[in-house]
Amino acid sequence: MVIDDYLDYLRVERSLADNSVRSYRRDLKRFNAYLLTRGLAVDSATSLDIEAYLGELRTGTQDTAPLSVTSTARALAAIRGLYRFLVDEAIVPADPTANLRPPALPKKLPKALSTDQVERLLAAPSSLTPLGLRDRALLEFLYATGARISEAVGLAVDDVNLDAGDMEVRLIGKGDKERVVPVGSYAARALGAYLVRGRPALAALGRGTPALFLGARGRPLSRQSAWAVLQDAVRTAFPNGDVHVSPHVLRHSFATHLLEGGADIRVVQELLGHASVATTQIYTRVTADHLREVYLTSHPRALNT
């Protein structure tokens, strides 16, 4: 069977993982079953047949639930790969999926915390221990600069300038692109307290490193440990478990709050280290939703009453 030949090709020639091959098998067996019920075969199906199949996946049938856009797009990817293989093997003369386009995936809006939630989160770490001072400085820094977690843990002490009137940090982003980002007063105070009362105690436990953020043994803080710092703070700030925060959520919150405060989108682009303003524009959808909500709750003639 041509599907089995293709799966063998994926396993042997492409060295795909077993889980990936199983996913391809599941999608292609379902496609083949659809064709058989209509008296068709894989090597005789047309683009219209495949399009009809994808439509059925999205709408569902009496016996099957509709698939999500993501699952339908994955099914088309499996079918497209199969027909490219069949063309290469001269089993079919042309690829019937060549002009088919996957369904448009919905754009997921970034999650942003409210300013009250941010304040609760940043206040969660203790300021009485070296590790607590580090944790507060790290969280304040992430929110104040919009830095990626990898950028934060890669910092050296000399990358941060806390001189009054000139507080800034030099970040190295994707593609080794360097940018300089201002550091706000709250983050600067937290970093200063950590550098004076926290980092020396941690550094004494290690062998000496220029890294800004240190772990419990005096070594540079890892991304995994930084993630754990954030999750500990989340559990403390939101004990009900109703708020979920990742390092990227702090980055999203940084950008969203800047735009809501009137910052120019190109300034936010530079601060985030985005190569294109198009990447930053997704945040304008968030602020548009915010503006709409404010309008509907504030304008006397916005809603029927």
Closest CA to 186 of 128, 231, 121: 121
Which one of 34, 53, 83, 148 is the catalytic residue?
148
Give the per-residue pLDDT at 104: 67
Whether residue 19 sits in one domain with residue 137: no
Least confident of 52-56, 120-124, 217-221: 52-56
Q: Specify whether the CB–CB gap between 83 and 97 falls below 8 A.
A: yes
Res. 276: pLDDT tops 80: no
Higher confidence at residue 99 or residue 124? 124
Answer yes or no: do 122 and 84 share one domain: no
Q: What is the pLDDT of residue 68?
A: 80
For the chain, the farthest-separated pair of C-alpha atoms sits apart, in whole angstroms, at 78
> What local confidence, expressed as pLDDT, does residue 99 receive?
87
Average pLDDT of the segment spanning 89-113: 80
Any domain includes 98: no
As a whole-number percent, the residues of the chain with pLDDT over 90 amount to 50
Same domain, yes or no: 58 and 154: no
Q: What pTM was estimated for this model as a whole?
A: 0.61
Domain boundaries, position 169: 115-296
> Which of 134, 251, 252, 257 is an active site residue?
251
Is residue 105 assigned to a domain?
A: no
If 0-12 CB within 10 Å is exposed, 13-18 middle and 19+ buried, where does residue 146 land? buried
Set 34, 53, 143, 283: catalytic member:
283
Q: Are 54 and 13 in contact (CB under 8 A)?
A: no
Mean pLDDT for 236-262 is 88
Q: Specify which of 18-22, 128-132, 175-179, 274-278 reaches the highest per-range mean pLDDT.
A: 128-132
**Domain co-membership, 140 together with 80:** no
Does the residue 93 lie in any domain? no
209: domain CATH number is 1.10.443.10
Inside any domain, residue 301: no
Which tokens hold the place of 108?
A: 């997921």
Gap between the Cα atoms of 126 and 117, Å rounded = 17
Active site residue 299: no
Rounded to an integer, what distance in angstroms lies between the CA atom of residue 143 and that of residue 163? 20
User: How distant, in Å, are the alpha carbons of 205, 293, 304 from that of 297?
Assistant: 55, 6, 12
Closest by alpha carbon to 100, among 2, 31, 9, 36? 31
Please report the pLDDT score of residue 260 as a whole number.
84
CATH number at residue 9: 1.10.150.130
Same domain? 83 vs 221: no
- Per-residue confidence (pLDDT) for residue 132, from 0 to 100: 96
pLDDT at 229: 95
Q: Are 147 and 248 found together in one domain?
A: yes
pLDDT surpasses 90 at 294: no
134 and 258 inside one domain: yes
| One domain, residues 26 and 172 | no
In the set 134, 252, 257, 274, the catalytic residue is 274
What is the structure's pLDDT at 196? 96
| 26 counts as catalytic | no
248, 266, 285, 292: which is the annotated catalytic residue?
A: 248
pLDDT value, residue 204: 95
Confidence of residue 212 (pLDDT cuts 50, 70, 90): very high
With residue 172 as reference, give the H or E element that holds it: strand 168-172
Q: Give counts: helices (H), strands (E), the chain.
A: 14, 3
Reported confidence tier of residue 63, pLDDT bands at 50, 70, 90: confident
Cα 29 from Cα 35, distance rounded (Å): 10
Question: In this model, does residue 256 exceed pLDDT 80?
Answer: yes
Mean pLDDT of 180-199: 93
Would you say residue 107 lies in a domain?
A: no
**Rounded to an integer, what distance in angstroms lies between the CA atom of residue 130 and that of residue 176?**
31
Q: What is the 3-state secondary structure (H, E, C) of 248-266?
A: HHHHHHHHHHHHHCCCCHH
Taking all residues of the chain, what is their mean pLDDT, rounded to a whole number? 87
Q: Are 276 and 131 contained in the same domain?
A: yes
Is 84 one of the annotated active-site residues of the chain? Answer: no
Question: How many domains, in total, are found in the chain?
Answer: 2
Question: What is the reported pLDDT for 305?
Answer: 47
Closest by alpha carbon to 225, among 136, 153, 156, 128? 153
Report pLDDT digits (tens) over 140-159: 999 999 899 999 999 999 99
Tens digit of pLDDT for each residue in 5-52?
999 999 888 888 888 889 999 999 999 999 999 999 999 999 999 999
pLDDT of the residue at 41: 92
Q: Are residues 179 and 277 in the same domain?
A: yes
Give the pLDDT confidence score for residue 304 in this predicted structure.
58
Residue (of 108, 102, 47, 93) closest to 73 by Cα position = 102
Tell me which of 29, 174, 177, 285 is the catalytic residue.
174
Residue 148: active-site member: yes
Same domain flag for 81 and 145: no
